[in-house]
Structure 1
Amino acid sequence: MPIKNVVVNCTDVQRSVEYYTKFLELRLVSEATPRSALLDAVTATIELRAVAAGRDQSTWVGDDLQKGFRHIGFKVDRLDERANVLKAGGVEFKLDPLDAEGKVRICFFYDPDGTLLEMIQGDLQYAEVLDPDGVAAERALGVPGRPRFDHVAVTIEDRPTTDKYYRDNFGFSFIGTIEQPHDPRGFSIGYLKSGDTVLEVFTYNAEKSSRAPQLDVAGFAYAELAGDPPPDLTAATAPDGTTVYVDPDGFAFSARPTV
């Protein structure tokens, strides 16, 4: 089942609402409060939750060799124009717009609390297509009228293990791969699709580090998947009482049972 919601912790909800509505055209689902806000991102929602500034330091680092969460991706049109607006607004970039493997154009930048975000323009041309129907469904979504949630990216240890985990438990389909032949770390990307959303998985031949999820510090907290949680998983409790599970690579998610 697809990714339904992505929870992002922030130190100032109103500041983050202004950021996401201005730069990514997300729309408020209901009135924001000092504690939380829910934003519509077309194919999923982004939920902003307040945490105390400086309470704890995040252990997330901007090195894709750290397993677990890496970034949140949005499909867009007019990427360069949008990037210019971000730059004019003083937004910090990790990677300026460029043409990437798979014949797409991308850029990476940070939200006010350091959550890494990506904009992607164009349909990926996969090095290997593993599910033609899944790829066709992805392309049928068309060019977005406003930025739409596309994926959460994670670094993993083993692609077949992750494929089986999310296929068996949540019905994701492995639709294709993109290779990075010039990366000395042995970098490859796989795409697990469910509904209109994707889990983008990074694999490397190089040694990777691990990180325990942090549910009460600024930054990405967890994704919410539609479906029943698999049994025998490591679980934690979010500040609002939500039960959050942790997959073998340290990626945190909750599960909303389907009706």
Structure 2
Amino acid sequence: MAIRSILINVEDVKRSVDFYTRYLGAEVVEASDDSAVLDAVAGQLRLVRLGAGAGGAGAGGAGGGDASTWIPDDLQAGFRHVGFKVADMDARVDALHKGGVPFHLEPIHAEGDVRITFFYDPDGTLLELVEGPLQYHEVFDREAVDADWALGTPTRPRFDHVAETVNDLEATKQYFGELGYSLMSGIHQPSDDRGFEIAFLRDGDTSLEIFTYEKVEKSKRQPQLEAPGFLAVEFEGGMPPGAESVGTRAGLEIVADPDGLLHAVTGS
């Protein structure tokens, strides 16, 4: 399991625990007023209250952190969403609708013969549900794809991937290769005139879903450690060359990859 956890800054730990257990079947490992750890089958969600344990670049006071500069535009480099595999898309979407959860994209059939939908957690983290085994257009590592499919239909939502927009796929492959990732597969987007392609880097039971756009410019977000929503990915392994330290949060040194994805590396 190359990704140990997803760190998320939250305004209210209890509210976020309720959201993730109610709508995404996460199970509580531990929880307090300042933090919580939730099991999401193939990894953990670590919720950290804004203002608790603040430190490093962009740190805010105890009043709830900084306004996030993340925007729901895949042309902003860095973090894009957290994805979960599900077996019961319609039932979960119905529950989300009844709960008044805001959607970014209602369910659609997508390239790769899967159904997907996007919505937001209480602090603005963009989440994706994926139903069905993804049928890749290109396979570069047959063994990794077979292992992916062998995970089967999840009995409860299973953390599956983190998506990132990058400027240079080859540089991204090299960077995350230091953490044990290799190119598994790809999906084309023939109807998108921006030159949109998706590559999947794999290690263990989860992926990095890498977006590239060859025909348009991308923007870059400055690191924020005390803004609501997604904070960082916690990886296993050694620190990649080129990682830029941006401060500390939740007891971890947080670094940025060349495209601004914040992450920590905590060893194997």
The percent of aligned pairs where both chains have the same amino acid is 49
Specify the alignment match of 2:118 in structure 1: 108
Q: Taking structure 1 as reference, are residues 239 and 175 closer, same or farther at Cα in structure 2, changes over 3 Å only?
A: closer
Q: Is 1:236 paired with 2:235? A: no
Give the distance between the partners of 1:41 and 1:138, measured in 2 at CA: 16
Specify the alignment match of 2:22 in structure 1: 22
Aligned pairs for 1:99-138 (under 5 A) are 99-138=109-148
Q: What are the ranges of 5 or more consecutive residues in structure 1 without an aligned counterpart?
A: none
Deviation for aligned residue 1:244: 1.1
Q: Is 1:35 paired with 2:45? A: no
Give the distance between the partners of 1:196 and 1:232, measured in 2 at CA: 25
**For the Cα contact (< 8 Å) 2:65–2:228, is it kept in 1?**
no
Q: Is 1:195 paired with 2:204? A: yes
**For the Cα contact (< 8 Å) 1:158–1:203, is it kept in 2?**
yes
Specify the alignment match of 1:51 in structure 2: 50
Deviation for aligned residue 1:63: 0.3
Q: Name which of 70, 73, 88 aligns with 1:78.
A: 88
Classify the secondary structure of the residue corresponding to 1:238: strand
Classify the secondary structure of the residue corresponding to 1:62: coil
TM-superposition CA deviations, 1:200-219 (whole Å, max 9, x none): 00000211000122111111
Specify the alignment match of 1:2 in structure 2: 2
TM-superposition CA deviations, 1:132-163 (whole Å, max 9, x none): 00100000000000001000000000111111
Give the distance between the partners of 2:180 and 2:208, measured in 1 at CA: 12
TM-superposition CA deviations, 1:70-103 (whole Å, max 9, x none): 0000000111111011001100000001110000
Specify the alignment match of 1:66 in structure 2: 76
Give the distance between the partners of 2:115 and 2:25, measured in 1 at CA: 19
Q: Is 1:215 paired with 2:225? A: yes
TM-superposition CA deviations, 1:102-142 (whole Å, max 9, x none): 00000000000110000001111111111100100000000
Residue-pair matches, total:
256
Q: What are the ranges of 5 or more consecutive residues in structure 2 without an aligned counterpart?
A: 52-62
Q: State the one-letter code of the partner of 2:189.
A: Q
Q: State the one-letter code of the partner of 1:131.
A: D
Classify the secondary structure of the residue corresponding to 1:214: coil
Q: Name which of 139, 158, 161 aligns with 1:151.
A: 161
Classify the secondary structure of the residue corresponding to 1:6: strand
Deviation for aligned residue 1:179: 0.7
**For the Cα contact (< 8 Å) 1:213–1:221, is it kept in 2?**
no
Give the distance between the partners of 1:92 and 1:69, measured in 2 at CA: 19
**For the Cα contact (< 8 Å) 2:242–2:257, is it kept in 1?**
no
Give the distance between the partners of 1:75 and 1:59, measured in 2 at CA: 28
Q: Is 1:226 paired with 2:225? A: no
**Higher mean C-alpha displacement, 137-146 vs 224-233:** 224-233
Classify the secondary structure of the residue corresponding to 1:170: coil
TM-score by length of 1: 0.96
Deviation for aligned residue 1:240: 3.1
Q: State the one-letter code of the partner of 1:44.
A: G
Specify the alignment match of 2:99 in structure 1: 89
Give the distance between the partners of 1:164 and 1:230, measured in 2 at CA: 9
Q: State the one-letter code of the partner of 1:20.
A: Y
| RMSD between superposed Cα atoms in Å | 1.2
